[in-house]
Amino acid sequence: MAANDAGNGVDAVSGGLILPFYLAGESGDTALIRGRLASVGLPATTILQRHQYPAAVASLQAEALAIAACLSTFMKFDGVFTLQAKGDAFVKTLFADVTSAGALRGYAAFDETASVPVADDVVAAMPASVPALLGSGYAAFTVDQGTENGRYQGIVELDGDTLSDAAMAWFANSEQVDSHIVASAAERDGTWTATALMLQRVASDGGAAGTAQQKEIHDDVWHTAKTLLQSVRRDELVDPDLGAEALVFRLFNSLRPHVAPAHPVADQCRCSPQKVETVLAQMAPQDLGDLVAESGKIEVTCEFCKIQRDFDPESLMGEGGTSTRH
């Protein structure tokens, strides 16, 4: 059985993947540009099936899942990478996170009393509009390794047209390396395709030692690669019949792409009965009492995977020795 460096925890059968590749240009085999293509249509499909989002929100969510997956593999970390956006328009919260092992999840909260601001035919034609759906607000990108010093976050204002613009703004702030990302998602017959494709210039190790000629070659390759990436058509990005490798070679063939083994990405929540019970057990008895449903149980639904779990309030309160009886 082949090992992979994405860790063990996700089931590759569920279909998502992140394909690492690099572009060498005419230099030979030296990586001048690092690339990642995240294709998460199948996990996005099962995630979105559990939520009844309007098409515009579903499309935004699918893009967020693809972008989070794509960005996560540009960093070395052992934990969770999160993309979260807060808006003041139709969509209030957009959330996507992915573990270093490839477990992907997400949810969106939107104003269910308002009419959807983007028509379905517009949704089908272009990447999700940040100004129309989220309005003003911010996007936060967080790496959390579960240790005291293992958490860092970058925040950017939502002042571009797309989520890709927000991701690029964050990368420009944090990495100081030329990067470019495009993303799109589309649904056909209930199945989503969701793709994010990113290039990042490899910091030239030449520095002072690099010759002017080498720098010129690097600049030239970056310019060409970025132009090719910007030229990718939306229908190519969301073509369910075009494999990840095929797309990379189609786009960047002139720059000698080299691909590495893909990382699997799966629809996989991280909630558990124990985690919910721990949270409930820390609540005051009165607050717990307010949560009791008509069934007499405390019903907790995970906002990511929509699994509902029922807890017996008596036993929860009893554990803390503060059981109240009527």
The site that binds Zn ion (CB under 5 A) totals a number of residues, namely 5
- The SS3 of residue 126 is coil
Strands in the chain per DSSP E: 16-23, 33-39, 80-87, 91-99, 103-110, 137-144, 151-157, 179-188, 191-201, 257-259, 263-267, 298-301, 308-311
Only one of the segments 22-30, 58-66, 185-193, 297-305 lies at the binding site for Zn ion (rule: CB under 5 A); that segment is 297-305
User: Closest Cα to residue 126, out of 238, 38, 37?
Assistant: 238
Q: How far is the CB of 301 from Zn ion (least distance, A)?
A: 9
Rounded to the nearest 10 degrees, how much is the dihedral formed by the CA atoms of 214, 216, 222, 224?
-120
305 near Zn ion, judged by CB under 5 A: yes
Classify 141 as helix, strand or coil: strand
Report CA torsion sign: 240, 169, 268, 260.
positive
Taking CB under 5 A as the criterion, the residue among 302, 311, 313, 317 binding Zn ion is 302
Told to check if 104 binds Zn ion by CB under 5 A, we report no
Question: Closest separation between CB of residue 270 and Zn ion, Å?
Answer: 7
Shortest reach from residue 51's CB to Zn ion, in Å: 12
CA pair distance 317, 286, nearest whole angstrom: 10
Residue span binding Zn ion (CB under 5 A) among the ranges 2-10, 85-93, 214-222, 265-273: 265-273
The region of 3-11, 212-220, 285-293, 301-309 touching Zn ion under the rule CB under 5 A is 301-309
The residue among 200 and 268 lying less far from Zn ion, judged by its C-beta, is: 268
Residue 80 touching Zn ion (CB under 5 A): no
Among 269, 276, 281, 291, binds Zn ion (CB under 5 A): 269
The amino acid that residue 242 corresponds to is: L
Nearest approach, Cβ of residue 273 and Zn ion (Å):
11
Shortest spacing between CB 232 and Zn ion, in angstroms: 34
Residue 40 interacts with Zn ion (CB under 5 A): yes or no: no
Residues 95/108, Cβ–Cβ less than 8 Å: yes
* Cα–Cα distance, 22 to 31 (Å, whole number): 6
Determine, following the binding rule CB under 5 A, whether residue 304 of this chain makes contact with Zn ion: yes
Only one of the segments 132-140, 160-168, 192-200, 263-271 lies at the binding site for Zn ion (rule: CB under 5 A); that segment is 263-271
Q: Does 276 interact with Zn ion (rule: CB under 5 A)?
A: no
198/168 Cα distance (integer angstroms):
10
User: Which CB atom, from 68 or from 158, has the smaller least distance to Zn ion?
Assistant: 68
Task: Decide: is 107 part of the binding site for Zn ion (CB under 5 A).
Answer: no
C-alpha–C-alpha distance, residues 219 and 214, integer Å: 9
Contact flag: residue 95 with Zn ion (CB under 5 A): no
CA pair distance 185, 194, nearest whole angstrom: 4
d(CA 37, CA 230): 14
Quick check: helix, strand or coil at residue 23?
A: strand
- Taking CA atoms, 142 is separated from 26, 75, 85, 139, in Å, by 36, 11, 11, 10
Smaller CB separation from Zn ion, 269 or 292:
269
Kindly state the tokens that stand for 32.
């001048």
| CB-CB neighbours of 172 under 10 Å | 13
- Does 47 help bind Zn ion (rule: CB under 5 A)? no
Q: Does 266 bind Zn ion (CB under 5 A)?
A: no
Binding to Zn ion, residues 8-37 (CB under 5 A): none
197 counts as binding Zn ion under rule CB under 5 A: no
Q: Binding segment for Zn ion among 73-81, 148-156, 241-249, 264-272 (CB under 5 A)?
A: 264-272
Residues at the contact surface with Zn ion, assessed by CB under 5 A = 269, 271, 302, 304-305
